[in-house]
Chain A
């Protein structure tokens, strides 16, 4: 139960951060990606602000034997640079460049009630589902 409440509050902190940094605005994201246009560096400051906390924070946290509200840490185990990683990053990059939405900002922007955002999120979930079918093949 405690872990569920903490997920709710941490999600809220994350969503608040996405809104404060204006990363939920696709025009900001496209402005950053548009390196040959009038470049908007805001996303770089967002990444910098986040990494300033996680880069020193993660190793300190991972020194612990277990997290505070769960039995163990659940961390990615794969370490190989495989074709799916590279192909997936390319496909994601194309979609991100077209719409200016990545998954976190798109979900957080649902709070605006914009039908366009809802349409994007439904398509994104359908895309994830299609990807998971591919994954399950032997």
Chain B
């Protein structure tokens, strides 16, 4: 079981917020990771693809930097095999259909006071909690 990581959470959260604000200020874009990734797959404008790939490479590199500092990453997988693939498909499909994920709707959308983002964030939080309840305590 986990001891809450309040300091790491607040500090890491503030860095995520700062990155989101900087992407808006400098690049004029919303830091929604599913949207940034989706544009790599879908976009047919060449200039649209490069900054997205750069952002994703940075995302991986930034996490790697923390792994260097603390000597490894905290990573405890919760599922494997077919269930992991199924979950990945749902996350990809759902964020595409619903136009966003935890970063785009949660961190950025709420800051723009978007009613769509508020509704989406409440729904995916509640559904995810229900899913955990059903898979961990019921079945």
Q: Which residues in A have some Cβ–Cβ distance to B below 8 Å?
A: 3-28, 30-31, 33-38, 40-55, 57-58, 61-62, 64, 66-76, 78-81, 84-104, 106-112, 114, 116-117, 119-132, 134-135
B88 CB contacts on chain A under 8 angstroms? 95, 99, 101, 106, 119-124, 126-127
Closest Cβ of chain A: how far from B39's Cβ, in Å? 10
The smallest C-beta distance from A49 to any residue of chain B, in angstroms, reads 2
**Which residue of A is nearest B12, CB measured?**
A21
Determine which of A8, A31, A51, A91 lies in contact with B97 in the assembled complex, contact meaning CB atoms within 8 Å: A91
Once the chains are docked, how many angstroms separate the CA of A9 from the CA of B16? 12
Complex contact B65–A132 (CB within 8 A): no
Contacts of A67 in B (CB 8 A): 24-28
The minimal Cβ–Cβ distance linking A75 to chain B, given in whole angstroms, is: 7
Query: Are A10 and B26 in contact, CB atoms less than 8 angstroms apart?
Result: yes
Chain B residues close to A by CB (< 8 Å): 1-2, 4-6, 8-31, 33-34, 37-38, 41-42, 50-52, 54-67, 73-80, 83-99, 101-103, 105-112, 114-116, 119-121, 123-133, 135-137
Measured CA separation A84–B96 after assembly (Å): 9
Interface centre among A9, A13, A15, A69 (most CB of B within 10 A): A15
Least Cβ–Cβ distance between A51 and chain B, in angstroms? 6
How far apart are the CA atoms of A48 and B89 in the complex, in Å? Answer: 29
Do the beta carbons of A4 and B98 come within 8 Å of each other? Answer: no
Interface residue from B11, B29, B41 paired with A125 (Cβ < 8 Å): B41
* Interchain Cβ contacts under 8 Å between A and B, 21 examples: A10-B23, A11-B56, A13-B15, A14-B15, A15-B63, A16-B65, A30-B136, A35-B132, A54-B20, A84-B99, A93-B128, A94-B87, A96-B91, A99-B87, A101-B88, A103-B91, A120-B85, A124-B91, A125-B37, A128-B37, A132-B96
**A107/B59 in contact, CB under 8 A:** yes
What separation, in Å, do the CA atoms of A84 and B79 have in the docked complex?
Answer: 27
CB pair B132–A14 under 8 Å, yes or no, is: no
Residues of A within 8 A of B125 (CB): 33, 93
12 additional A-B residue pairs with CB within 8 Å, beyond A58-B24, A85-B116: A11-B61, A12-B62, A12-B65, A17-B13, A27-B2, A51-B110, A51-B111, A76-B114, A119-B88, A123-B87, A126-B89, A127-B93
